[in-house]
Structure 1
Amino acid sequence: MSDQADKRRHLTDDQILKHINDLETEERELRSKLSSGQLNPETEQPRLAAIEVELDQFWDLLRQRRARAAAHQNPDDAEARSAAQVEGYLG
């Protein structure tokens, strides 16, 4: 497990939701600045893509934690999945 994944494992639901909200705020601001021509899409597109992946990972972790809690299991046993795993879901 990577250091980053290990850190995510010890977050509470409230901390995860706060991070999701922070990322969504950053994403909205970035998209707004890009659409108004305030930022160069070529230089900002990688950050926007990274935000989207990180959001997917944190939403996945929160869903895992909630499912574990609903099943009377320890939500802290939920593990952050890799970007490739989360982005590879077929729905």
Structure 2
Amino acid sequence: MDEKTLIHQISALVDDEHKLRTQLQTGKITEEQERGRLSDIEAQLDQLWDLLRRRRAAKLQGVSPDEVQAHTLDEVEHYLQ
């Protein structure tokens, strides 16, 4: 996945976050529904941001960004801060 595609997917997920918040405010979904979906979106965003950062780091080190593979959601969610 190239950088342009990653950025597009990140933007789409951010748009989804905004739509969910609007749906909650207008009563179209419940807080529980919003929380569940937001949790999924946040995990996907974490994974995409991680991949984008690692691809950029690889490029700076002279390594092909195409060699960088996405970490699983579990790996990304359990990184030490």
- Within 5 A, what are the aligned runs for 1:1-91? 11-91=1-81
Letter in 2 for 1:13: E
Residue 32 of structure 1: how far off its partner (Å): 2.6
CA RMSD in angstroms, aligned pairs only: 1.3
Equivalent pairs, count = 81
Runs of 4+ in 1 over 3 A off after TM superposition: none
Residue 21 of structure 1: how far off its partner (Å): 0.3
Q: Distance in 1 between matches of 2:28 and 2:80?
A: 35
Question: Identity over the aligned pairs, expressed in percent?
Answer: 38
TM-score with structure 1 setting the length: 0.80
Residue 36 of structure 1: how far off its partner (Å): 4.1
Provide structure 2 residue ranges, at least 5 long, that are not aligned to the other structure: none
Provide structure 1 residue ranges, at least 5 long, that are not aligned to the other structure: 1-10
